[in-house]
Amino acid sequence: MNSFEAFKDPALCRALLARLIDEADTPLRFMEVCGTHTVSIFQSGLRGLLPATITHVTGPGCPVCVTHESEVACFLDLAGRDDVILATFGDLMRVPGPKGRNLKTAQADGARVEVVYSPVDALALAAANPGRTVVFLGVGFETTAPAVAATIKLAREKNLRNFRVLSFHKLVPPALAALLADPDINVDAFLLPGHVSAIIGAAPYAFVAEKYRVPAVITGFEPLDILSALRDIVAMRKAGAPAVKNDYTRVVAEAGNPVALAVMDEVFAPADALWRGLGRIPASGLTIREAFADYDAMHLPGVALKESPPLAGCRCGEVLKGKMAPNECPLFDKACTPATPVGPCMVSTEGGCAAYHKYQLEL
């Protein structure tokens, strides 16, 4: 058995789960802040196997879900322009915006909206359509931002002036700080995101333990990864020694990925950003630096973030802050289903509401 196969070993999982049940003798509420963790915890059945003392809370780990209402309205405004082609990842297509519209309905009304699988695909779209401006919707965390930054540099090298990026990227550590500073959010520990951490490393999370005395573990996505992280958290709480621990060393280096960080820093600068449910968080987003302003969609005439009202009845904001379980929302599996989503948490495959719908019903 190689080291990767070991993380799928049912016998090891059973043994670790038994130890966790034995050791977790005080209440623990942990939050994951990664959509892949959300799905893994449900899909593997771990949520139903955890001891009664451990409560799993979903957090703001789905980039589509935390995209703010004003940002979605901006997408739709751009989609209405005859000279613009929007390029986007597919999970944004059905995110509801003002008056129930989304990019899918805009497309049906004649907007040119193209689903791409990478920002480089959007660049190819710009090269093939020199008479129109191609705007790539830059939504995601630190995981996707370096590839977008590299594509902006490539656009400049190729002198493709009809390529733009609407950068609504979000940074995870400032969101954690906002959660921890909220006295109404009752979270005892964090599972930190493996993908994001592969880019930024462990150091940016140090404040979680140092300032707020909350244990946190960077971990992978197999059941054994998650169980091991929870056991580490329980041990830290018993010892009264909170720390940020990197259990995902097979992927995450302590300093992160210096090449990805360098290109991200060259093209982007930290900026205040709007988060669904969390509001405006200082220095939690990425704006395109002035040196690359020619590729910034926010510099197109008439493009601006305008105030947009919350979606009527949607409780995604409370779900993203861990204040409400998805199935506690009055609309859950009634007015709001994956077929008829009222909010983005039911749209994205990594959304907490979608996970509850798909897997909670199967438990």
State pLDDT tens for residues 266-293: 999 999 999 999 999 999 999 999 999 9
For residue 299, how many C-alpha atoms fall within 13 Å in the half-sphere facing its CB?
15
Q: In sequence order, what are the residues at sequence separation of 6 or more whose Cβ sits closer than 8 angstroms to the Cβ of residue 44? A: 223, 226
H or E segment to which residue 29 belongs: strand 28-32
Q: Is residue 233 part of a domain?
A: yes
In degrees, to the nearest 5, what angle opens at C-alpha 162 toward C-alphas 161 and 164?
A: 95
Same domain, residue pair 321 and 210: no
Give me the percent of the chain exceeding a pLDDT of 90. 87
User: How many domains does the structure of the chain reveal?
Assistant: 2
Question: What would the pLDDT profile of 162-186 be if each residue is shown by its tens digit?
Answer: 999 999 999 999 999 999 999 989 9
Q: Is residue 30 part of a domain?
A: no
pLDDT interval class at 310 (50, 70, 90): confident
The parent domain of residue 342 ranges over: 316-358
Instruction: Say what the pLDDT of residue 8 is.
Output: 67
Q: Is residue 285 part of a domain?
A: yes
Instruction: Say what the pLDDT of residue 246 is.
Output: 97
Q: Is residue 213 part of a domain?
A: yes
Question: What would the pLDDT profile of 129-151 be if each residue is shown by its tens digit?
Answer: 999 999 999 999 999 999 999 99
Record the pTM. Answer: 0.93
Same domain, residue pair 238 and 335: no
Q: Is residue 151 part of a domain?
A: yes
Is the pLDDT confidence value at 361 over 90? no
Mean pLDDT value of segment 289-310: 94
Instruction: Please report, as a single letter, which amino acid is at residue 250.
Output: R
Q: How many CB atoms lie within 10 A of CB 294?
A: 15
